[in-house]
Amino acid sequence: MKRFSAAELRERKRSLSRTDTARLRRMTEAELEKSIREDPDWSHVPKDWHLKAQAVMPVPKRLISVRLDEDVIDWFKSEGAGYQTRMNAVLRSFMHEEKTRRSR
């Protein structure tokens, strides 16, 4: 275990961020809008998405022990940080599909 001071944690957080906040602050509203329009990650998002948006409070997670195949764990981990959250999302998606299928 390694201890960090508050200053070290702030610096570590700054060094991990890939956002150029100074550049963003210099951008005009029109430049920001153009940047968003040209961002491929936003290409499928409808212009009026926010009209149907709802605030959702996160549900607390429950700690469990589950045995998974090693290759499944390795694959999720290889996709980067947040692998447990992605596993939860896959299971949730499956759950919703099953509920929909069963209610037909």
Q: For residue range 29-42, list pLDDT tens digits in order.
A: 999 889 888 888 88
- Looking at residue 67, its amino acid is R
| Number of separate domains in the chain | 1
Residue 15 has pLDDT above 90, yes or no: no
Q: Say if 62 falls within a structural domain.
A: yes
Query: Which DSSP category does 48 fall into?
Result: T
List the alpha helices (DSSP H) in 27-69.
Answer: 29-38
Contact (CB, 8 A) for 8 and 15: no
Q: Say if 33 falls within a structural domain.
A: yes
Give the integer Cα–Cα distance in Å for 52 and 104: 26
How confident is the model at residue 42, as a pLDDT?
Answer: 83
Crossing angle of helices 83-103 and 70-78, rounded to 10°: 110
Q: For residue range 39-89, list pLDDT tens digits in order.
A: 888 888 888 888 988 888 888 899 999 999 999 999 999 998 899 999 999
Pair of tokens at residue 3: 């201890």
How confident is the model at residue 59, as a pLDDT?
Answer: 85
| φ, ψ (nearest 5 deg) of residue 27 | -75, 140
Give the integer Cα–Cα distance in Å for 22 and 83: 31
Which residues, including other chains, have CB under 8 Å from residue 86's CB and lie 6 or more apart? Answer: 76, 79
pTM of the entire structure? 0.48
Q: Say if 1 falls within a structural domain.
A: no
- State the residue range of the domain holding 67: 6-46+57-103
How confident is the model at residue 12, as a pLDDT?
Answer: 76
Residue 3 confidence class, pLDDT cut points 50, 70, 90: confident
How confident is the model at residue 16, as a pLDDT?
Answer: 67
